Chain A
Amino acid sequence: MTTAASPVQAPGQTAPLTGAPTVHGRGVVATYMGITAIVLALLMVFGLLMRASQAGFITVPPNRFYQLLTAHGIGMVAIAGLGGAGVMWFFLSRYVALSRAILVTNLVCFLLGVVLVLGSIFVGGFAAAWTFLFPLPAKSVGVWGMGATAAYLVGVLVVGVGFLLLYLDTARAIIGKYGNLGAALGWPQAFGKSTADAPPPTVVASTVVTIINIPAIAVGAVILTMSLVNALAPSFAVNALLAKNLIFFFGHVFINSTIYMAVIGVYEILPAFTGRPWKSSRPFLLAWTATMLMVLTVYPHHLLMDFANPTWANVLGQIMSYASSLPVLAVTAAATLANVYRSGMKWNVTTSLLFASILGWSVGVVPAVLDGTIAINRVMHNTLWVPGHFHTYLLLGVVAMLFGFMYFLAMSTGASDSVLDRAGFWMYAVGTIGFAISFLAAGAASVPRRWAVHDAAWMTYGRVGAIFALIVVLGTVAFVTAFLRRARAIGT
């Protein structure tokens, strides 16, 4: 169990952060973030190679392209989860007694799973994309073997087991402190007449993540196991539509939870610089409860072009897509703007990244909601419009939150921003926006996603995208080297 250690104070912070994890806990979190930084940079290079190949700048053979696609997709989902878990654990441990052993166990499972997944892809040739839609893992037309399929599915399963243990531990710790999950969500204050202080924003967000991710990972484990059995014993068939429902429920909830974990960094760090505490107001509590319900029911918007899926489910997917934008645009964005507006805060790379992350999340929601409209999805589904919107709120949203947290940790060692750090921020911000726009424009021009080879008419989008992707990678390298240079001091 963790106990409180010395306060965390970075240059420019108006209020020291008390109750932060012990040196050992900080060391494990720093390890989480160090691995996150390196893997993010590596997977971004994979992305750059794919876009450069689509642009005609280089030639990546299709088999290698689809391997990179698979590694980039599953890797980014997993590493966003790992980095988000690092942020959540760091701040949640200020309020509840979390287990450091479980945090380490999750990391061990993660690394073990990553070895299996990378081996399946780059040794075994597995390339069924992160979605591993049934029955593609078992039907490669000889491109990869059953060993590779099994290694991939087991690898993802092992990563999931680690995260499941982590969320069971957060559930245990939260219930131990607050009595039940409803109290930790602030329901007595949101729906009742309780005048007691509501739980802090970090606890509310962590409780939502805990509640949504336990069933999501369980559902993921079910379809991974069913796919594994099918690969080994083909007579065990799975309904392809059921498989899609299970995969997208798992995938949608898990990737969204990475934002909900990472945004805790914004709740905790920005107020430390602006001097304005982030309060668990009634709208805040209602927004999180609504978000929890909506993220569990919105996933059919991935199945809008599956006409065999029940129409009511797809209509629900559209309605929930619209509704789920309300908490982001009306509550989170409003609170962020109010926290910063005329606060007297001095900008640094930490606060710039965190502020920009809410911008990225808010802007990215717009094309996502439009894509969640059945009539628009008909001409946008599986075009580059889709990576256009999710790169906006993942790259300029969740990843910016993760880098912002890393800078916060690094600066708490007494370091201050260098010219390279500030240049990194601007490269990252400009590169990300340009990169996402190149995807959105290509999607609006009907360019398909996940195509190894592009028609000549589409290459301009690829060229622009590849140039901006290179700028993103350069900004990321600046961040990663800045963090790793200072990381050792965080855990000492």
Chain B
Amino acid sequence: MEQRIAVLVSAVIGTLVIALFAIVARSARSTGSADDIAAAAARWRRTTFWGLVVLFVPAIAYSLTKTPYGSEVTAASVVVQAKGHQWAWEVAPDTVRAGQPVEIRVAAADVNHGFAVYDTNDRLITQTQAMPGYTNVIRHTFAAPGTYRIRCLEYCGLGHHTMVTQLTVTAAQ
């Protein structure tokens, strides 16, 4: 969902900006009054500025309700301990149930790692950093059963790309 939004917004705005630059590039051979153009540009600048502000304020406000910090806290959470080592994950237990709130406590034994959860379609669904001296907590409820991959997303040395393990999600009871 978030990936689609990012692609769509980038593609639409990127295309508009490229089109605008292309139009101006084509216009360069002709001549016009510099003063008139400067006045039009000032109006365009004001419109763009306030247009973006009007767009940004609700976008920021809404998106900040969706942060992963401390969400979905419930007493019924199953706790999973995850620790990154150069270069392997230690995850216990490695099986949870679908529909059950899970609290994954992520730590690191040596250097920084990135604990990233990929769903059964190999899409990244959530992540946090695994840091020496800290425990970062992911709270997540897996919707569907299957085999979820855990990959390291913070560069940690020679075996970084081999830091892959699995989390099994069984069907809800």
Residues in chain A within 8 A of chain B (CB atoms): 62-63, 66, 69, 127-129, 131, 133-136, 139-141, 143, 239-241, 244, 274, 276, 283, 305-308, 311, 314-315, 318-319, 322-323, 325-326, 329-331, 333-335, 337-338, 340-347, 355-356, 358-359, 362-363, 366-367, 370-371, 373-376, 378-383, 385, 440-441, 444-446, 448-453, 457
Q: What CA separation (Å) do A360 and B155 show in the bound complex?
A: 28
5 contacts between A and B (CB under 8 A): A241-B131, A306-B136, A337-B41, A338-B37, A340-B25
Q: Is the CB of B129 within 8 A of A307?
A: yes
Q: Is the CB of A240 within 8 A of B28?
A: no
**B118: A residues at CB distance < 8 A:** 446
Q: Which chain B residues (101-121) contact chain A, with CB distance < 8 Å? A: 110-112, 114, 116, 118
Tell me, yes or no, whether B24 is within 8 Å of chain A by CB: yes
B24: min CB distance to chain A, Å:
5
Candidate in B6, B42, B52, B152 with the most chain A CB atoms within 10 angstroms = B6
A264: min CB distance to chain B, Å:
20
Q: What CA separation (Å) do A380 and B125 show in the bound complex?
A: 9
**A307: B residues at CB distance < 8 A:** 68-69, 128-129, 136-137
Q: What CA separation (Å) do A363 and B45 show in the bound complex?
A: 17
Q: Is the CB of B153 within 8 A of A448?
A: yes
Q: A306-B134, A308-B134 are in contact. List 14 more A-B contacts (CB 8 A).
A: A63-B158, A66-B160, A133-B154, A143-B157, A239-B133, A308-B135, A311-B67, A325-B52, A340-B28, A343-B32, A344-B30, A363-B13, A366-B9, A379-B126
Q: What CA separation (Å) do A481 and B7 show in the bound complex?
A: 37
Instruction: Tell which of B15-23, B72-80, B89-97 binds the partner.
Output: B15-23
Q: Is the CB of A342 within 8 A of B60?
A: no
Tell me, yes or no, whether B27 is within 8 Å of chain A by CB: yes
Q: Which of B24, B45, B86, B135 contacts A340 (CB 8 A)?
A: B24
With A334-B45, A451-B160 given, is the CB distance from A240 to B3 under 8 Å? Answer: no
CB closest chain-B residue, reference A61: B158
Q: Is the CB of B63 within 8 A of A379?
A: no
Q: What CA separation (Å) do A276 and B28 show in the bound complex?
A: 12
Candidate in B4, B25, B129 with the most chain A CB atoms within 10 angstroms = B129
**B6: A residues at CB distance < 8 A:** 367, 370-371, 376, 380, 385, 444
CB closest chain-A residue, reference B47: A330
Q: Is the interface of A mostly helix, strand, loop or mixed?
A: helix
Q: Is the CB of B31 within 8 A of A342?
A: yes
Q: Is the CB of A141 within 8 A of B3?
A: no
With A136-B156, A378-B127, A379-B3 given, is the CB distance from A448 to B132 under 8 Å? Answer: no
B137: min CB distance to chain A, Å:
7
Q: Is the CB of A379 within 8 A of B52?
A: no
**A445: B residues at CB distance < 8 A:** 3, 123
Q: Is the CB of B129 within 8 A of A343?
A: no
CB closest chain-A residue, reference B135: A308
With A325-B52, A375-B67, A446-B124 given, is the CB distance from A342 to B14 under 8 Å? Answer: no
Q: Is the CB of B2 within 8 A of A378?
A: yes
Q: Is the CB of A450 within 8 A of B160?
A: yes
Q: Is the CB of A329 within 8 A of B3?
A: no
Q: Is the CB of A330 within 8 A of B52?
A: yes
Q: Which of A305, A322, A323, A450 contacts B155 (CB 8 A)?
A: A450
Q: Is the CB of A347 within 8 A of B25?
A: yes
Q: Is the CB of A331 within 8 A of B45?
A: yes
Q: Is the CB of B116 within 8 A of A448?
A: yes
Q: Which of A140, A240, A381 contacts B132 (CB 8 A)?
A: A240
Q: What CA separation (Å) do A451 and B63 show in the bound complex?
A: 29
Tell me, yes or no, whether B143 is within 8 Å of chain A by CB: no
Q: Is the CB of A379 within 8 A of B2?
A: yes
Q: Is the CB of A453 within 8 A of B161?
A: yes
With A326-B53, A370-B9 given, is the CB distance from A375 to B41 under 8 Å? Answer: no
Q: Is the CB of B154 within 8 A of A382?
A: yes
Q: Is the CB of B158 within 8 A of A143?
A: yes
Q: Which of A341, A363, A444 contacts B24 (CB 8 A)?
A: A341
Q: Is the CB of A355 within 8 A of B114?
A: no
**A374: B residues at CB distance < 8 A:** 63-64, 66-69
With A127-B157, A444-B3, A446-B122 given, is the CB distance from A337 to B132 under 8 Å? Answer: no
**B125: A residues at CB distance < 8 A:** 379
Q: Is the CB of B111 within 8 A of A446?
A: no
B1: min CB distance to chain A, Å:
9
